[in-house]
Chains A and B, each alone.
Chain A
Amino acid sequence: GQNIDQPTEMTATEGAIVQINCTYQTSGFNGLFWYQQHAGEAPTFLSYNVLDGLEEKGRFSSFLSRSKGYSYLLLKELQMKDSASYLCAVTDSNYQLIWGAGTKLIIKP
């Protein structure tokens, strides 16, 4: 079966750094997405990785290791508005997007 694993919930402090991990087992791999979803709203695109390594975009970075079936999203200089769920999603060999259940990130002052 296909599976995406993420922690259910994480807590971090405003101004700090947090790393959200994602491991996957899918039938094939054609890229990994991270989306941000605020409560009651739709997911919005954060990043895409298809090759191994780190992609940096402002305060957010995403890392991929295809051999380990592993990715992480790194958020720096946390702000209160970063409180949201972060969803990891993998495109499989049929170009279907397989979604994780998301990690709820709680930011404390």
Chain B
Amino acid sequence: DAMVIQNPRYQVTQFGKPVTLSCSQTLNHNVMYWYQQKSSQAPKLLFHYYDKDFNNEADTPDNFQSRRPNTSFCFLDIRSPGLGDAAMYLCATSRARGEGNEQFFGPGTRLTVL
């Protein structure tokens, strides 16, 4: 089945220790998104890639970086995690940008910062 895969599902890191979350997709979609979601809140868009074109949201902290080495993979790097970065990180894809393009989500990575 075509899908969006995220690894790991649960990640524990220490305050200030860099961490990388990964996402891969077999849907061959052009657009990939990274969201941060805290409990009972709306998903917050951090970045998205339209193919190789990187789009950073204005309020995404510099502590967050992203890489998309090819169509299938996308990484989220948190350079110095703080306690406030503990959240669920969701990767999503869509075939294109524009009207009607639903987003398909991976299962998420729950990040704990100690």
Q: Pick the contact of B99 from A4, A30, A44, A104 — CB < 8 Å? A: A30
| Residues of the A chain whose Cβ atoms lie less than 8 Å from the Cβ of B90 | 42-43
Do residues A41 and B103 form an inter-chain contact, with CB atoms below 8 A? Answer: no
Q: Pick the contact of B40 from A42, A48, A102 — CB < 8 Å? A: A102
Q: Which of B14-22, B41-49, B59-67, B70-78 sits within the interface?
A: B41-49
B43, B88, B105 pick with most chain A CB within 10 angstroms:
B43
B90-103 vs A: 1/0 string, CB under 8 Å?
Answer: 10000001111111
Do residues A50 and B99 form an inter-chain contact, with CB atoms below 8 A? Answer: yes
Instruction: Give the number of chain A interface residues (Cβ < 8 Å).
Output: 24
Instruction: Give the number of chain B interface residues (Cβ < 8 Å).
Output: 21
Q: What is the predominant secondary structure among interface residues of chain B facing chain A?
A: loop
B42, B45, B101, B105 pick with most chain A CB within 10 angstroms:
B42
- Please give me the residue from chain A that is nearest to B105 by CB atom: A42
Instruction: Looking at the assembled complex, report how far the CB atom of A48 sits from the nearest CB atom of chain B, in whole angstroms.
Output: 6
- Please give me the residue from chain B that is nearest to A42 by CB atom: B105
CB of B82 closer than 8 Å to a CB of A: no
Residues of B near any A CB (own CB < 8 A): 40-45, 88, 90, 97-108, 110
- Give 23 pairs: A residue, B residue, CB < 8 Å, sorted on A: A4-B42, A8-B40, A30-B98, A30-B99, A31-B100, A33-B102, A40-B110, A41-B108, A42-B90, A42-B107, A43-B43, A43-B90, A45-B102, A45-B104, A50-B100, A87-B43, A91-B99, A96-B45, A97-B103, A99-B44, A100-B42, A101-B41, A104-B40
A42-B107, A50-B100, A99-B43 provided; 17 other pairs, C-beta below 8 A? Answer: A30-B99, A33-B102, A40-B108, A41-B107, A41-B108, A42-B90, A42-B106, A45-B102, A45-B104, A85-B40, A95-B97, A95-B98, A95-B101, A99-B42, A99-B44, A101-B41, A104-B40
